[in-house]
């Protein structure tokens, strides 16, 4: 049986990636806001696990670094500078701001640039194209958000449903 050409099925990887990311960010914010504010940047069950606030900082910092590079050709990533937000409101705000920036520049990223193989400026790993770097950002967000679900349960809080985006 013949398979169609890719263009027959009308798959737009750039548009689909942003839509997925938007949905995941909505859920991540819902999880962050479900934490008792005094626990978001203080609770971790055991060392060396980080707080969910520190994970949010990582999520936003990586997104910001890639997107600023892709949109403005300004490439820098420093996990410590500026320092991570120290309270819940600031941690949530950072995650919101990083994604608001992504949405604001998305339309001007050329789709072919996202899919052209290129060396990752910050990390190692298998991500070969800017598209893959950003997929990795989303996967890293899902990974850590799942960890936030455990923290919430350990704190006696019911997490939001996973399938709602």
Question: Which residues contribute to the site for a second copy (CB under 8 A)?
Answer: 1, 3-13, 20, 23, 45-46, 48-49, 108, 110-112, 115-116, 123-126, 135-136, 139-140, 142-147, 149-151, 153-154, 162-165
At its nearest, how many Å lie between a second copy and the CB of residue 38? 19
Nearer to a second copy, 4 or 83 (CB): 4
At its nearest, how many Å lie between a second copy and the CB of residue 149? 7
Nearer to a second copy, 81 or 126 (CB): 126
Q: Report how far residue 148's alpha carbon sits from residue 83's, in angstroms, rounded to the nearest whole number.
A: 21
Nearer to a second copy, 68 or 145 (CB): 145
Residue 72, phi-psi category: left (phi > 0), alpha (psi -120 to 50), beta (remainder): alpha
Q: What is the dihedral of CA 118, 123, 127, 131, to 10 degrees?
A: -70
- Asked if 102 and 137 count as a contact pair (C-beta separation under 8 A), the reply is no
């Amino acid at each position: 049986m013949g398979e169609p050409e890719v263009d027959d099925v009308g798959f737009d990887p750039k548009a689909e990636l942003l839509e997925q990311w938007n949905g995941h960010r909505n859920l991540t914010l819902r999880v962050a806001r479900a934490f008792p504010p005094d626990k978001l940047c203080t609770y971790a069950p055991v060392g060396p696990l980080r707080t969910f606030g520190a994970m949010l900082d990582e999520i936003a910092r990586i997104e910001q670094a890639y997107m600023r590079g892709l949109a403005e050709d300004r490439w820098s990533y420093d996990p410590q500078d500026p320092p991570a937000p120290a309270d819940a409101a600031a941690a949530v705000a950072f995650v919101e701001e990083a994604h608001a920036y992504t949405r604001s520049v998305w339309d001007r990223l050329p789709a072919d640039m996202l899919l052209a193989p290129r060396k990752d400026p910050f990390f190692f790993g298998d991500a070969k194209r800017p598209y893959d770097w950003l997929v990795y950002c989303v996967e890293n967000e899902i990974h850590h958000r799942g960890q936030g679900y455990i923290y919430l349960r350990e704190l006696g809080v019911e997490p939001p449903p996973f399938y709602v985006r």
